Amino acid sequence: MIRRSDFPKNFCFGTATASYQIEGAADEDGRGPSIWDVFSHMPGKTFNDETGDIACDHYHRYKEDVQIMKDIGLDAYRFSISWPRVMPDGKSINQKGIDFYNRLVDELLEAGITPFVTLYHWDLPYALHEKGGWLNPDIAMYFRAYATFMFDELGDRVKHWITLNEPWCSSFLGYFMGEHAPGHQNLQEALITTHNLLRAHGYAVQSFREEVKDGEVGLTNVVMKIEPGDSRPESFFVASLVDKIVNAWFHDPVIFGSYPEEVVKTYSEKGLQVPLDDFSIISNPIDFFGVNYYTRTLVVYDENDPLGFSYAQGDLPKTDMGWEIYPQGLFDMLVNLKERYRLPLYITENGIAGPDKVENGRVSDTYRIEYLEKHFEKVLEAIEAGVDVRGYFIWSLMDNFEWAHGYSKRFGIVYIDYNTQKRILKDSAMWLKEFLRS
Ligand code: GCO
């Protein structure tokens, strides 16, 4: 059995959340609307038309939530700042909004929990969206100003910062596949928004170096293990291309100052414009990559698809999201990232959604314990293989608003009864508590 003491001394275990998914209090204390407020209020965009208006009511219950983490014995907590809460129009300061994060940070520090702050987890102020949002190149400067403000306000106490969470989702799910806010379906826009996200990231890193001298800053990407879904050589070829489309596209510019050439060529051949400016900003040196890992993705050659591939179903056991459970992929990707980029890594998200129910006051999520244990083992193997992994954050602390899936997917180690806002520690949380003491 794996034990905490098998991990390096300074290795930190935490949980992760995101503002729009947990905070609620959407109209309170001067918060402005974000693209997710507007999107989730449009009929048909989310499961049962659910929204983050109330979510887990964390805005009011943060003390209880911090106490829960303290009881479990967690070292760290990764949360995100709601940009429209601190800057309702994207640029003017809302003191009550910043007060909330000050209280949260103080509460965490008092509980002995290290805060890891994500600046952008998808809730763009709607006022900025109306100015073109991520399509507008000026967005990078708005983001820099917002980031600078947050570094000034919290940088004395918060030493671990993540600029963006999963720019792939913001750009490709939001602007190409239409599943996420703002719901556009245009590949050219996805390429422009990716670039502006990366520029925003780079400017924020630049400001971080001026504002926070004794901290670290990084970027979190969703890291997908891409494998061919059949044995045709063409499928092997597209698997390698898709790996670069989803993974290297979001890492290479930050480290090498360029997009992977093969992908630039593929897009250009389709008549798409790939923005190629500002790489010196984008590649401002960072301190770590955050890795969000959930599953592998199978792709096969598809001559009818404009980019030549389609997704395939695998036959491994699946989670409630329909994602295959594949711990080996975490090990493989950690090793790949190490070899290609040579940066320290944090696993900033990993976890599983399942059909959790309260029975006699208990939630027995044995499958989640197994999932976590197997992934912990792979992290340890990666460390033993020489990968510099510094921490692991479970997605998520508590059940929450799972974007287009509304409240239908439960990822938490803490169960939320959405009628009463009661928090119930699932068996996985009890297991984790034991593990952290071991
Ligand atoms: C993501 C986001 C989280 C999700 C989680 C489960 O990776 O999509 O960072 O906000 O809730 O990943 O899908």
pLDDT of residue 136: 98
pLDDT of residue 421: 98
Q: What is the DSSP string of 340-373?
A: HH---EEEEE----B----BTTB---HHHHHHHH
Q: Answer for the pair 212, 151: CB distance below 8 angstroms, yes or no.
A: yes
Determine the residue of 78, 396, 403, 413 to mutate for testing ligand 1's pocket, defined as the one with the most ligand atoms within 8 A of the Cβ atom. 403
Residue 80 has pLDDT above 90, yes or no: yes
Task: Indicate which residue of 166, 227, 324, 402 is catalytic.
Answer: 166
Read off the pLDDT band of 121 (50, 70, 90).
very high
Mean pLDDT of the chain: 98
231: amino acid identity, one letter: S
Residue 1 has pLDDT above 90, yes or no: no
Read off the pLDDT band of 112 (50, 70, 90).
very high
Measured distance CA(133)–CA(136) in Å, rounded: 6
Which residue is it, tokens 């929450």? 400
Regarding the beta carbon of 292 and ligand 1, being less than 6 Å apart is answered yes
Three-class secondary structure assignment of 22-53: HCCCCCHHHCCCEHHHHHHCCCCCCHHHCCCC
The domain spans of the chain are 10-222+287-292+318-437
Among 31, 139, 25, 129, residue whose Cα is nearest residue 87: 31
**Residue pLDDT, tens place only, 166-186:** 999 999 999 999 999 999 999
pLDDT of residue 69: 98
The structure tokens listed for 97 are 């909004």
Total-model pTM: 0.97
Measured distance CA(115)–CA(79) in Å, rounded: 8
Regarding the beta carbon of 395 and ligand 1, being less than 6 Å apart is answered yes
Task: Report the percent of the chain where pLDDT is more than 90.
Answer: 99
Read off the pLDDT band of 63 (50, 70, 90).
very high
Q: Where are the alpha helices (DSSP H) in 138-179?
A: 139-154, 167-168, 174-175
Q: What are phi and psi of 36, to 5 degrees?
A: -75, -30
pLDDT (mean) for 338-347? 98
pLDDT of residue 190: 98
Read off the pLDDT band of 99 (50, 70, 90).
very high
Task: Indicate which residue of 23, 50, 349, 402 is catalytic.
Answer: 349
Cα(204) to ligand 1 centroid in Å equals 22
Measured distance CA(254)–CA(29) in Å, rounded: 36
- Burial track 81-102 (b if 16+ CB lie within 10 A, e otherwise): bbbbbbbbebeeebeebbebbe
**Residue pLDDT, tens place only, 230-268:** 999 999 999 999 999 999 999 999 999 999 999 999 999
CA-CA-CA-CA torsion sign (243, 383, 220, 282):
negative
Cα(220) to ligand 1 centroid in Å equals 11
Read off the pLDDT band of 45 (50, 70, 90).
very high
How would CATH label the architecture of 10-222+287-292+318-437? Answer: Alpha-Beta Barrel (3.20)
Read off the pLDDT band of 128 (50, 70, 90).
very high
pLDDT of residue 341: 98
